[in-house]
Structure 1
């Protein structure tokens, strides 16, 4: 995956710059060589890599919602937006929460993209805690520093999970029927 994106991002013959050239735009970038753009280019590759997994998770969640909820909303005169807001979204809240947790913690612990594509460069623009941990422990033999970076990464992941769980807290009342939803057009 990273080798493919290295070719796409190549400043001289890469697909992305050649696409801009074919469109008649004079927009050429050194995607992985500029400190201001490298982290975004690598983060996009990481997001792209896991996007299919996230879509599969959400699709599985949507397929698990029984049709009678949608039929009831249609009978009550709900628009597509209100059906999504009052039926789909509440029933997919746990799926969205899991997807968000997996995405954010995956981004925090990203390593292979930085290692393969930039080696942490240019300079240290694409350093992540996992890359710092790897570099300190296995290249510089500073195991204590590497362990400290690993501990901070674990604490960051736990903090993200706690924050998301508090923000998307589910209660028993969430699944109880609501009154006065005013689905009728009127």
Structure 2
């Protein structure tokens, strides 16, 4: 089930209005599909735009912010829930625990770090939650090419690069993540034989 998604995105709005528009579109699609937002708890940049649109439309929004970033990222205090945690490690662990899946939207170094850590946790078998990339304005094309290079050079298994759900349309992205999050049917076991 995909009841909540953790979204990693920028604490700035980027160089083009297309990024802010895309976050509002994503919020509307999440509301349409009754999906709650889990995110970093800030009220600035793309984070703030996404949270504000979710709240405006009556959605559920949970923010997690470290106490030392309360002022720097300007904590959003009008959320459904806001957790203030000790540090970044606790923040990321809590976001991962509360979400049924992940989306990396446009952002900077912090967003990339969160995406790669979540992907690494998946490769290590620490979670089986789907990971999506919201490729607004082809923002992630270079990164997708780089990850393909990792696989080609034998440093990442092909199955992990193929497991990333990459879309530029928010509705298609959410639909594919929902399918990826659905419980997988395990093959039926053949009847066993008992040896006496």
Q: Please indicate, yes or no, whether the TM-score normalized by the shorter chain is above 0.5.
A: no
Rg larger for: 1
TM-score (norm: length of structure 1): 0.27
Structure with the bigger percentage of strand: 2
Structure with the bigger percentage of helix: 1
